[in-house]
Structure 1
Amino acid sequence: MKFMLHILGIFCCLCSCALGQNISVRPNVVNIGALFALNSTIGRAAKVAIAAAVNDINNDSSILAGTKLVVQMQDTNCSGFLGIVQVADLVEYYGWKLVTAVFIDDDYGRNGIAALGDELAKRKLKILYKAAIKPGAKKSEMAAVLVKATMMESRVFVLHANVDSGIAVFSLAYNLSMTSGGYVWIATDWLSSYLDSSPRLDMGLMSIMQGVLTLRLSIVAPEALNRKPSSPSNANKKLYTAIWPGETTTRPRGWVFPNNGNDLRIGIPNRVSYRQFVSVDPQTGVVTGFCIDVFVAAMNLLQYPVPYTFVPFGTGRENPSYTELIDKILTNEFDAVVGDIAIVTNRTKVVDFTQPYIGSGLVILTSVKKQSSIGWAFLQPFTIKMWCVTGMFFLIIGTVVWMLEHRVNDDFRGPPVKQAITVFWFSFSTLFFAHREDTRSTLGRFVIIIWLFVVLIIQSSYTASLTSILTVQHLSSPIKGIDSLIASDEPIGFQVGSFAESYLVNELGVSPSRLKSLGTPDQYKEALDLGPKQGGVAAIVDERPYIELFLSEHDKFAIVGSEFTKSGWGFAFPRDSPLAVDLSTAILTLSENGDLQRITDKWLTSGSSASPSDDLDADRLHVHNFAALFIICGLACIVALAIHAGILYRQYTLHVAAASGPLSAAGSSRSHRSSLRSFLSFADHREVEFHKSANKDHAAIAAGGSSSGVSFTSSNSTNTSMSR
């Protein structure tokens, strides 16, 4: 109410001054302009108050005596708020996740910092700490605020204050060594503009504030600026290399470990089983294990010291719930969680994980039986399709060789039954290189050479596969994978504290009544030995690293199927923690320099993790294993038959021409050429008969007599074939 009365009084004074200059001529309308930052608290309140005051004045005719008051309000879009947007863009551009806001704790300061927080939130950044300075504070009070701010992680300071307070803050920061290497100060635009030309500053402080603390940099990427044509308007927008505090061109990280004297509280699972990953000595409290060694090695690679303390979580009687362990970060009981923590979707929504340091995924562990060799084991090296394709090629090769050898080789002639038997015998005897028939044609030998090479490869592969099948004990299980396990309706085991339980229930729809919690490898073995009919389980679903450790000591069990989830283990930190980023880089370094593998070899041993069904299938030979050989052999057959057909057709043409003679009728010649039966009869005869007949015909034609060539007609083909 007082604010509105003040506004009303101000307007009355303004109107009186405006109207008092010329009483005799009273205007109908008095226009007054008002400039406010409408995005600020004051601006929003003033807008409402001014509108109400104008309405009251115009409704009371005794104030302006019939003159109407019009107030035109404009948003100043003040440089302070434009500067806030630019500051947020600058912080985002340089990759700083956290900032410390230093401001005067009045309406203007609070509104500016609130606007900054909103702009940073749009870019998934945030204000880590708000260093509020009371209006009219003494230098000692300002210094206390700045000292407290230096104990926080962020080294990026955004100053939002009036000129006098800003100068005082800068002077104190300089005296507190807060302008050295690693610090970044960003002032809002109105203060930056003042610093550009202010005569009130001595040259030393001016240099510090302009060259070190106040970044007047373009936030537009150099690539974007360079693509634009040069012009006077954008010549000043080019982004030059910044000289950061400490006279360096290296961009400050913008974050350090907080210097507040407190160690990081690192929560670790107090495991009961699989203590190779994390182990806490109940007597001395010493923490060891694979995960611990990886964490310590990564921390040693950081460029700044980070004091920390391991805090065990769990009763020590059973493995703790990892979901509850992660929740301790949300309640600030732990600053981080280290251990065999699987990176799963639900957890990534509440915490940040480092780069995975070991691969993981859910697999199925079950009992397997040794598969003895059966009487039909000799068929197992080839798949059914492979047997069919191989047999078909034996017949194809036999037929092709018969076609190429029939006219020149007596071994491939005779009665039809004898020739069919020869084709089958020759085909399959090549498997043992025991074929008695000789090949005389060049094309036939060409095909046989390629085929014998294919047979050699197939025979050698078959022998090796059969040897493996007969000598290696294969394992079998009725459960082949996650689908058959879900469909079986039999009990399923899982490790206490693992996310496997929630995944089976929520993602795969397994009934909770089917699940049985197991805590130790001995319980794994006992439950699998008993089986579902005696109170045990049909299989256990757990992460691969645990299962591989279990299999290194138990060979009666095996992994069936493949991993049905893909994840890894990482270290958990609060959201937007810079430590998660730095440790991820350190983990990658450990992987590249071989230290991660050495730690793995120290703590973990590889077990038999192959799938039994995959073992047998890996020994079997498929068609695609010999696809190239079959294609080459098929092409050789096609080429040989094409050449043979061309030669045969040419001989037949010459034979017809010789048999017709120069005086033969044209109709008789056409009849011979078009007769398929005559061509087949010609192809069935020996090639030597063709040569003899051709020689006699040439001799008769030369003597002027008629041709006495042999007539290969259908009438005598049957009779002559009986003598071949």
Structure 2
Amino acid sequence: MGSMVDLCINMALSDFYSEHTNYQTRLQLHTKDAKSLLEANFAVLDLLKNEEVHGILGLQTATEDKFLAELGGKVHVPVISFTARSSTLPYSQNRYFIRTIPDDVYQAQALAAICQEFNWSEAVILYEDTESGIQFLSHLNKAFQESDIEIAYMSAITVSSEDNRILKELKKLMAKQPRVFLVHTNPSLGHRLFFLAKKAGMMSEGYAWIITYYLSNFLSSMDFIARDSMEGVLGIRPYVSWSKKLDSFQERWKRNMVLKNWTGSVRDLSIHGLWLYDTIHFLATAAEKIGLVNSSLLYGNTSKIGTDTTNLKISAFGPRLLKKLSRTKFKGLSGEFQLINGQLTPSALEIFNIIGNGERTVGFWTLDKGITRELNSTGEPTHTTPTKNLKNVMWPGDSVTRPNSGALPATVKLRVGVPVKHGFTEFVNVKIDAATNRTLATGFSIDIFLAALQLLPFPTKYVFCRYNDSKNSNWSYDDMLHEIPDQVFDIVVGDTTIWAPRADYVDFSLPYSEPGVVLVVKNKKPLDMWIFVKPLRWDLWLTIIIACILMGIVLRILEHRVPNTNEESVRPRRERLQLTYWSPITALAFPERNMVANTWSVIVLVFWLFMASILMQSYTANLSAILTVDQLNFAFSEDYYVGYQEGSFMRSFLKEQLHINESRLKKYSSVEEYHEGMSRGSQRGGIDAIFDEIPYMKIFLKKYDSQYRIVGPTYPTDGFGFAFPIGSNLTAQFSKAILAVTQGRNMTSIERNNFGPGYSSQEPLSSTISQQTSSLTLYDFGGLFIIVASVTLFALFCSETSVGRKFISLTAQYGQKSFCFLSSKFHSTRNDDEEIHASVPDTGATSGEGGDAIVFGGNPSGNEEENYDPGQNNEGASAEDREVKTDSTEERNSMAHS
């Protein structure tokens, strides 16, 4: 490489100034030979201090880049590299670090496009374990993620690795069964790698290999053995269009190489030589644009570097050179040459296929158009690109069949691990054939597995291997899954939950069941015999009762001022006044016009009815909610125990994510055990809640229906899936098959065969539970019936028994005395002409218009009513008798009116 660089620089300087003899400026070259990183750093310091250079051009490693970039920025000297494929620092922080080579990010995008072109979903990356190799890997990983391509495995190989170690790594990869490999190494390591790959049998039919231009740029330096081992390899490299100038330069380069007796390993000119040649022209053109500069203006201040006591001069010419470089553009041997953000603009990449000792171009990649088959004379994609973008490729093993990224052997033999369960055998039910001692398995999970086998693109043989033979109650699915990396099982089939902590040691297929964990509690509605009281709190009930009493008193006061006109004489004044006490309540059920007569009483009663209507509607709504809505009254406390399924991940889930004390957890293995524990409750050694996954709880709720209910949120999980070794190609194949099974027409029959009719994983959980209606019972409203019955019995007691009538009579007399006392105090504030007298109508009401009348404060015996005849003349009767008879008549008419 060094010999090629020296020859290209000298030829570039000679060619440029022979073409531009009139230029006033000349580039003067100062060379230093450095064989190590330390020597390179000292050489740069020596060039800056003693030679007083205004630019540094050279081969830099990633470690050198950091030092030279910082040094160049400090002394304002451009540092130019034609080999640094990427930079660890952004251009804004390293404006004096220039790369006349495209960035690796474009190469990574081209590799991702090739994988998409061949429908490869994954690839194995073999890269050189250097800092530049790690930088390239970061670019490649990002490009693959954007293209939905998975890096199945990454293997770092050092230059000093022995052949045995490399061969061991290749055989390890063969066991993982990948088929697409991407190689990013230097030429010497790449030659050894392909020779060993062919020795291991990995350069045969069914494999695909791709190389980056870190290796493809130096294919001409390979010997016959290394070249032969790369038969069928696909590679990419920067595209250089043919020109007469390029052809002439290559002939002169070969002639100069012979004349100088060059003994280097590089036999042909590489793209790096062309980039270097164009870089010299680039620098010479920029220097000429600056023109002649007075030597006194070449430097500014001095700068102290580290602990060195010698100061370095700060170049005043470097910033001007940097500015001209960013504005210079020309067409060189390698193509269009222009800098953007301190790096060479990307050109098209050539995709080629190694066939024998030659190469065949199969297509191109450009940043704007992606993959195309042809380019025109200007290096742009043709407009007549056929549907198939790349030409036919000859793959390893002289095969023309495109390899699959997940290719598998002709027949796959699987050791299928299945759990021996105590309960929920609807999913997995393991039995042992007594005659052959062969393990047999049935259930929903097994049916999904068998249906998926029929859809795989390759034949499969399997044997069931049972786990938990002794039916140990302390077994767990996690222990069973650890048998996969221990190579006891090739696959685990069962109701195994896809859970993040398990992904550290196994891969999962797509789920075939509903995801989620739910909480199940007893379906106890908050009903009792006093349910009708619960819509309102005690303070509101008390306020309503007090408001009714106060409203009755207010209406009694307002009605006391109303005269007893002929229109209102149908009801005795005294009874009407007493009735106003009950008007706030009776008006709700028996709204009568003659209940109140005062206008202000009507206004007060209207607002009271408005408020009462709102209270009634609110009461009805709240009672409806209590009777129909399931409310979560369950809360975790020290008095509650929670059940979970034996062997499942729920124990860790409840402890780590829901922070439930382990002492409050109890394990169960079947639907019946769950029901028994819930029936006992925490107070009798059972549980008050169950945490488990939706498929299990569907079976539980389907059997016990309305006795239990789902409360709270659904906690996310990914459902049941099959487990595989990490990196296994079977994962993707089974995932595709499972997707076809779960969305196929046979899914319903599989569910019906295992769970019975009515179960469907496609329906939400809410549609499979609470199939029966929880009807209200007599006990739910027992308190209301007790109140009504008590009032009825009390009324019968007071009306139909002598003791009751006597009690009412005494109560009425006491009430009249109290009322008279209050009335006398009230009347003392009024004038005599404002007294109200009851008038007797000239004609009585027609008899027989009403039924029985309720007399407030009257004679309990009712004798006055029996002796009074509304059709007779009562003029001779006393005033007291007339008043009683009038009251009786008014009462009859009032009740008839009602």
TM-score when scaled to structure 2? 0.42
Report the equivalent of 2:420. Answer: 270
Report the equivalent of 2:82. Answer: 76
Shift of 1:207: 8.1
Partners of 1:160 and 1:146 lie apart in 2 by 15
Report the equivalent of 1:657. Answer: none
State yes or no: 1:342 paired with 2:500.
no
The answer to whether the Cα contact below 8 Å between 2:644 and 2:651 also exists between their aligned partners in 1 is: yes
- Aligned amino acid, residue 525 of structure 1: H
Shift of 1:186: 0.9
Partners of 2:403 and 2:775 lie apart in 1 by 55
Shift of 1:595: 3.7
Report the equivalent of 1:37. Answer: 60
Counterparts of 1:378-457 in structure 2 under 5 Å?
Answer: none
- Aligned amino acid, residue 381 of structure 2: A
1:288 maps to which of 437, 441, 449? 441
The answer to whether the Cα contact below 8 Å between 1:180 and 1:245 also exists between their aligned partners in 2 is: no
Counterparts of 1:211-610 in structure 2 under 5 Å?
Answer: 211=353, 232-235=378-381, 240-241=389-390, 243-245=392-394, 252-257=403-408, 267-281=417-431, 284=437, 286-289=439-442, 290-304=444-458, 312-314=466-468, 316-318=471-473, 320-326=475-481, 336-344=491-499, 347=502, 352-365=507-520, 483-486=632-635, 490-504=640-654, 507-508=657-658, 510=660, 512-550=662-700, 557-560=707-710, 564-565=714-715, 567=717, 568-573=719-724, 577-606=728-757
Shift of 1:585: 1.0
Partners of 1:517 and 1:233 lie apart in 2 by 71
Report the equivalent of 1:183. Answer: 207
For the pair shown, which has the larger CA radius of gyration, 1 or 2? 2
Shift of 1:112: 5.9
Partners of 1:298 and 1:590 lie apart in 2 by 7
Partners of 1:192 and 1:249 lie apart in 2 by 22
Deviation per CA, 1:155-184: give whole Å up to 9, x if none: 122234555775676678679875565322
- Aligned amino acid, residue 447 of structure 2: D
Partners of 1:583 and 1:549 lie apart in 2 by 26
Partners of 1:202 and 1:508 lie apart in 2 by 60
The answer to whether the Cα contact below 8 Å between 2:417 and 2:491 also exists between their aligned partners in 1 is: yes
Shift of 1:350: 7.0
The answer to whether the Cα contact below 8 Å between 2:60 and 2:84 also exists between their aligned partners in 1 is: yes
Partners of 1:547 and 1:232 lie apart in 2 by 68
User: Structure 1 577/91 Cα, relative in aligned 2: closer, same or farther at 3 Å?
Assistant: farther
State yes or no: 1:154 paired with 2:209.
no
- Aligned amino acid, residue 582 of structure 1: Q
User: Structure 1 89/359 Cα, relative in aligned 2: closer, same or farther at 3 Å?
Assistant: same
Give the gaps of 5 or more residues in structure 2.
Answer: 1-32, 88-101, 234-351, 532-625, 760-764, 777-898
User: Structure 1 523/88 Cα, relative in aligned 2: closer, same or farther at 3 Å?
Assistant: same
Partners of 1:511 and 1:278 lie apart in 2 by 30
The answer to whether the Cα contact below 8 Å between 2:420 and 2:429 also exists between their aligned partners in 1 is: yes
Report the equivalent of 1:678. Answer: none
- SS of structure 1 residue aligned to 2:666: strand
Could you say what the CA RMSD is over the residues aligned between the two structures, in angstroms? 5.9
Deviation per CA, 1:339-394: give whole Å up to 9, x if none: 2122345556775432221214434555669999x9x9xxxxxxxxxxxxxxxxxx
The answer to whether the Cα contact below 8 Å between 1:363 and 1:559 also exists between their aligned partners in 2 is: no
Partners of 2:651 and 2:43 lie apart in 1 by 76
Partners of 1:36 and 1:584 lie apart in 2 by 49
Shift of 1:273: 1.6
Partners of 1:205 and 1:527 lie apart in 2 by 69
- Aligned amino acid, residue 647 of structure 2: G
Report the equivalent of 1:669. Answer: none
The answer to whether the Cα contact below 8 Å between 1:153 and 1:256 also exists between their aligned partners in 2 is: yes
Shift of 1:523: 1.9
Deviation per CA, 1:214-240: give whole Å up to 9, x if none: 8876566887789xx999354279892
Partners of 1:509 and 1:570 lie apart in 2 by 26
Partners of 1:136 and 1:537 lie apart in 2 by 62
Of Structure 1 and Structure 2, which has the larger fraction of its residues in helix? 1
Q: Compare 352-361 and 497-506 and name the one that shifted more.
A: 497-506
User: Structure 1 203/540 Cα, relative in aligned 2: closer, same or farther at 3 Å?
Assistant: closer
Shift of 1:117: 4.0
- Aligned amino acid, residue 232 of structure 1: T
Using the aligned pairs only, state the percent identity: 25
Deviation per CA, 1:619-643: give whole Å up to 9, x if none: 9xxxxxxxxxxxxxxxxxxxxxxxx
State yes or no: 1:89 paired with 2:109.
yes
- SS of structure 2 residue aligned to 1:358: coil
- SS of structure 2 residue aligned to 1:528: helix
The answer to whether the Cα contact below 8 Å between 1:491 and 1:537 also exists between their aligned partners in 2 is: yes
2:153 maps to which of 128, 134, 138? 128
- SS of structure 1 residue aligned to 2:449: helix
- Aligned amino acid, residue 109 of structure 2: D
The answer to whether the Cα contact below 8 Å between 1:151 and 1:258 also exists between their aligned partners in 2 is: no
Shift of 1:241: 3.5
- Aligned amino acid, residue 484 of structure 1: N
Give the gaps of 5 or more residues in structure 1.
Answer: 19-25, 52-68, 377-476, 620-724
- SS of structure 2 residue aligned to 1:158: strand
Partners of 2:35 and 2:191 lie apart in 1 by 36
The answer to whether the Cα contact below 8 Å between 1:179 and 1:245 also exists between their aligned partners in 2 is: no
User: Structure 1 524/30 Cα, relative in aligned 2: closer, same or farther at 3 Å?
Assistant: closer
Shift of 1:525: 3.1
The answer to whether the Cα contact below 8 Å between 2:57 and 2:79 also exists between their aligned partners in 1 is: yes
Partners of 1:137 and 1:512 lie apart in 2 by 53
User: Structure 1 278/116 Cα, relative in aligned 2: closer, same or farther at 3 Å?
Assistant: farther
User: Structure 1 144/118 Cα, relative in aligned 2: closer, same or farther at 3 Å?
Assistant: same
- SS of structure 1 residue aligned to 2:456: coil
TM-score when scaled to structure 1? 0.50
Partners of 2:36 and 2:692 lie apart in 1 by 73
Shift of 1:586: 0.8
